[in-house]
Chain A
Amino acid sequence: MYLYSEFDTAFLAERNAQFRAQVERRIDGSLTEDEFKPLRLMNGLYLQLHAYMLRVAIPYGTLSSAQMRQLALLAEKWDKGYGHFTTRQNIQYNWPKLRDVPDMLDALAKVGLHAIQTSGNTIRNVTADHFAGATADEVADPRPYAELLRQWSTDHPEFQFMPRKFKIAITGAEADRAVIKAHDIGLQLVERDGVLGAKVLVGGGLGRTPMLGKVLNEFVAFDDLLAYLEAAVSVWNQLGRRDNKFKSRIKITVHELGIEEIRARTEARFAEIRPEFRGADMELLERIKAQFAPPAFRDGSTAGFESAYSNDPVFRSWIDTNIAPHKRADHAIVTVSLKAHGATPGDATAEQMRLLADLAERYGHDELRISHEQNVILPHVHKSDLPAVHAALKEHGLATANIGLISDIIACPGMDYCALATARSIPVAQQIATRFDELKLEHDIGHLKIKISGCINACGHHHVGHIGILGLDRAGVENYQITLGGDGTETAALGQRTGPGFAYDQIVPAIERLVYAYLDLREGPEETFLQTYRRLGMAPFKSALYDEEARADAA
């Protein structure tokens, strides 16, 4: 795990001291809000609907037990006993008081955490595959490179005043769990002739104008990658539109100029700046890599696991949904669901965070991950420990067996918290999960991803949900638009709108009609919702949504 150097520690301490003074000056009236706002945003402090909100970065979604405990402490001491994990692998505190924020930041700094570059027109927290370093299907652990990118971009003089925010995601596997095609730059590690490098995608993004990233380069060797990325970002930094917020993201630049032109300009710029890099980045990468060395895995029998699996149906169901294959056959990757039916997606109480920290310490080589799907992962658990882990999770309401199922919903904070929202998203997620739990259909329905955003900014990734829900304000009432067929993986696709939206009290019945239509239409339980949609297209689902509604209205 990456440990902060003395330089990082001193840097954080200085930043926090500066911010403490700025908060004081805001409170005593010597700074106006206009002066203070950019400063607080630089430190992750937003003003939301009902309170301030502090957004803390969790670089590439990786946490140690000590860091998780500190997050719990913040929740308890300065918030309302919980935190909200987001689709950007961050944690948000919904109720901090302005005066307390400097103390919160100091407490975070003690464990090497901070809220820098969680806001503003900078290169944001680099996100990564949450199974990195553990999964059986990766070429290499992408996190050392993510860390290199973090160091390169933090306070990089050229990248503090960019046309707009810039998001990078990285994966080491072909199977894309990091939604790399929905990022300004997406990186997939690949090996070519024994040389490690990355496939570089550019121009992806959701929001008002959703677009999937295009291939900028099929392969850039690690030696050249940082220079290449700097070239790509600086091309956009020059060309990107600063006059219009809605046209400023790199996806628009790529769209307007064409990928060939962007590629040509990137190559030209790359040729210019490449000599400046002289391999220092590679030396740094080697040093970083040492800190991500795999843990000392334990050998041992998995007989206890096998017998629990055959004898305990509750355990078996949890294993079948929440466990992913580890690169070692006697280990497993555990996804802990933060989506208990009816709970707020992504929320964890301080007590739950502490339990997760304890489990990571005891059974998981001290490592935790936060997924963009708002769940927590224990990446390295020996199979013989799974029954004990499951039992402990169960006691704390964390053993819901629903990963990848209909109640494993991504939902942004929406109008329950977010100042930008046009409608609520959390209660919609709660109601869908509760409804399908009542119907006892969840496991029968199988793999189905519902993603909900409370406005066009699409933090809830609704465009890439198999079923996407977008909450809008239509003439002063909440209205929910449905998209179908979205996919955030390596077979990425943007969902298509079904038609007119549904009122707040009609959206859950609408989803129910869609799901029943799928159950009728599928060729068998193996065919997922997405596959059925791809085979049959929109028409039968549209009919289920609107014709039945029309019939009900007529009746």
Chain B
Amino acid sequence: MSLLSARGLTRHFGGIRAVDGVDFDLEPGEIHALIGPNGAGKTTLVSLLSGRIPAQAGTITLAGEDITRLPAHARVRRGLAYTFQITSIFPGLTVFDNVALAVQGGRQPGALGPTVEAALARVGLQGMGAEVAGTLSYGHQRLLELAMGLALAPRVLILDEPTQGLAAGEIEGFKALVRGLVPQVAVLLIEHNMEVVMDLATRITVLTSGRVLARGTPAEIRADKAVQEAYLGA
């Protein structure tokens, strides 16, 4: 059984069919990449899954439970974590408080101190708890965002363009980090950097104009004629 699954998911904005009847399955322990050109509907799709915006039609289940009508915060508490495409932290709070909020709101709200420090250490921000989040460099803010996602102790981690704006060295660290998350966590990764996608993903779904164009392993997607024409531009 899929961990996270959607059937006929639909969301239109006026005349724009941002997500138009999408079926989607995320298996336990996989790294699933969601790719497609700008405006394909990737962010909208994961916003529907995470509950940030309500679906107009379709159903979503998490580990067999229908969560279509659940508000976003309740989905988070059930283990569905979302990190923002546009870095969204609490700039006025310390790094510690940012991560502590995630620990409190997540599935294992135990002792804060060690859990926060562990999450920071996983992304390479150990010892930076006392800094004010808004004063961090852009790359460090992205890592903080990631630490907050991890601190939720999720079953599904949705990453919306996590490597955007990271330096080459930071991307290598990021790849190792994501690899280390599976199989305890299933990862849904929206990513523009094809090298990262081909390296990390066990399966890929290609979205264009709100519809699924293709899905398969990296090798299958690379060989797919329709994908090449529509997107990879090979």
Q: Do A and B come from one complex?
A: no
Query: Which A positions have Cβ atoms within 8 angstroms of B?
Result: none
Query: Which B positions have Cβ atoms within 8 angstroms of A?
Result: none
